[in-house]
Structure 1
């Protein structure tokens, strides 16, 4: 009965000496390793460690596992077949000892798990790609919460700073250059802004056409949120000068900044986005839209935070839609 099981099993069955030679092997193992018969396998393989296993010292790790637990439940290895092709196998083995506890040989089974391994690696690759995409779309801490299947992600922040930037006269430029060139240009400009946001530890929220939105103090609170945004804004004015229109004219941007409480969260089930809401956001947008080219307009709230650290020029009072008269300042430089 044992011989019948041994000969007809679909799994490979073997016995090996401690120094790496086959004592016995069934037809299934010979087939798995690409040999015509068990006899051919036993006669040709005299050093399992170097002839079968691809990884150096894999046999040594296998033996160490057996020494530790006296058996291996599922030992996965990359091995060579007779023709040189590589396959993945899973071994279940145990040590056979005599009544005095002396090791006689190793006995085990082998399963070809190549297809399963390929499928697992493909699934892992897809999961990694999905995770990478998720972390590109959302802030890291928010992406983690989403992976944990948190139903509603919404947080209130008592202090944050929001920046909006918009390219001046970009609408006119859109009609003068081909769409592909336009998208390429926007990508180059916004990629520079993205690098600045990463440099200062800020969170890019989104782009809307030729407008760029970034925030400090979310999703992780930080005391210097206004300073970081101010420094990025000053660098944005410098960086935009590196870009020119076809006739050699440099681009200009308007920048608006405001500080205060915001609500942040994830919305949608398709094309999800991490966004901000509240008066702080609306006023920051007004600071940009009612600003001046190549100027950084800030509210009195932001001015009060940065006063003494940065140089400002008072603009005066402007009428802000929905808010009435507001005193604003132009951020000029760092003191």
Structure 2
């Protein structure tokens, strides 16, 4: 009985780290887990001015606030059936379209981003705070897999991931910046404002757009 309980606990922990499909693969497969996905949409979100904020708030309170924000984002990811990949400091990374492919990946990630903005505004109002997030989105192919022997993680690689990260880091505070590929997927259902060509580190000039909302029916 104790062994069964220990196994159940172990499985629950594994599912907190990996998508269910990947966790099952890991239990039965001893080779490297890596899959190519033709088209997904990747999101990076970052708290603007986090370094300055962290110097004025006690460490424990800072972690509590971050945990509250990321817990809200996790719930949104669950609602939109989006896969959270990881948090890196004050940054949050998620993807739509894997491990189970879906044709509406760009729309799903766009709704997620807009809901994240609303959630941060509500969070600030309820606590009299002024957190601001900057979001970047990119669409295209990726490779996804599990790396590491200890503390392993499900992660993504490829130009689409790099572009999403650049869309965020070269974006504007409080805005959602998307690349041309994402724009093409979203333009019929969402309000997008052309930001124009901007210089992207390692990419040269790229046409970018700001996601503003949903087109009313």
TM-score range, shorter chain: over 0.9
Match of 1:212 in 2: 92
Counterparts of residues 6-45 of structure 1 (less than 5 Å): none
Match of 2:101 in 1: 221
Q: State yes or no: 1:174 paired with 2:57.
A: no
1:155 to 35, 58, 61: 35
The answer for unaligned runs of 5 or more in structure 2 is none
Which has the bigger relative contact order, CA under 8 A and spacing at least 6?
2
Q: CA deviation at 1:322?
A: 1.1
SS at match of 2:123: coil
TM-score, normalization: structure 2? 0.96
SS at match of 2:101: coil
Q: CA deviation at 1:251?
A: 1.1
SS at match of 1:276: strand
Match of 1:14 in 2: none
SS at match of 1:218: coil
Q: CA deviation at 1:149?
A: 2.8
Match of 2:68 in 1: 188
Q: State yes or no: 1:321 paired with 2:204.
A: no
Mapped contact 1:316–1:329 kept (Cα < 8 A): yes
TM-score, normalization: structure 1? 0.63
Q: CA deviation at 1:179?
A: 1.2
Mapped contact 1:253–1:295 kept (Cα < 8 A): yes
Match of 2:14 in 1: 134
Number of equivalent positions: 214
Which aligned runs of 4 or more in structure 1 are off by greater than 2 angstroms? Answer: 242-245, 247-250
Provide, for residues 36-95 of structure 1, a one-character-per-residue CA deviation record: whole Å limited to 9, x for no partner: xxxxxxxxxxxxxxxxxxxxxxxxxxxxxxxxxxxxxxxxxxxxxxxxxxxxxxxxxxxx
Mapped contact 1:242–1:250 kept (Cα < 8 A): no
SS at match of 1:187: helix
Provide, for residues 244-272 of structure 1, a one-character-per-residue CA deviation record: whole Å limited to 9, x for no partner: 39x93421100000000000000001111
Q: State yes or no: 1:295 paired with 2:146.
A: no
The answer for unaligned runs of 5 or more in structure 1 is 1-120
Match of 2:124 in 1: 244
Q: Distance in 1 between matches of 2:203 and 2:196?
A: 15
Q: Distance in 1 between matches of 2:187 and 2:30?
A: 40
Structure of larger gyration radius:
1
Q: Distance in 1 between matches of 2:144 and 2:187?
A: 27
